[in-house]
Amino acid sequence: MKLSTKGYAANSPDRNEPSLKIEGGSITMRGVGFPIEGTDDRGFTQTMHPGCDYIFPGATYVIEVPIKKGGTQPFTKKHFTKTK
C-alpha cells in the first residue's frame, strides 16, 4: 500500500491507486470527486464525501479506499492488518 500526502485529489499522482495510507488523522476531501472509505489504525471507519474535511481522533494513519459508483463496497477489502 502506497503512502500518500495528496490522497485521491484530482491532481494527485496517487489518484489511481486501489488504496492509500495517509499519515495522521486529519483528512480533507477537497478536490476529490468521489466518496472514500477511511479506516484509521485504531479501527474507526467513516465514509468521507467530496468537499468535506474529516478528523480521526488520535489516529497515526488512515487507510483510504475508493467506494464504487452506485454502491457502498470499496474496490478492495475493508479490513486491514494493523502495521506500525
> Over the stretch 22-59, which tens digit does the pLDDT of each residue have?
999 999 999 999 999 999 999 999 999 999 999 999 99
- 79 falls in which pLDDT band (50, 70, 90)? very low
In whole angstroms, give the CA distance from residue 3 to residue 5.
Answer: 7
State pTM to two decimals: 0.80
In whole angstroms, give the CA distance from residue 47 to residue 1.
Answer: 19
> Over the stretch 32-42, which tens digit does the pLDDT of each residue have?
999 999 999 99
Residue 76 pLDDT: 46
Show me where the domains of the chain are located. 2-66
Side chain identity at residue 20, one-letter code: L
Share of the chain above pLDDT 90, in %: 79
Pairing of strands 20-23, 45-48: unpaired
Side chain identity at residue 69, one-letter code: K
Instruction: List C-alpha distances in Å: 68 to 24, 25, 41, 55.
Output: 25, 23, 23, 23
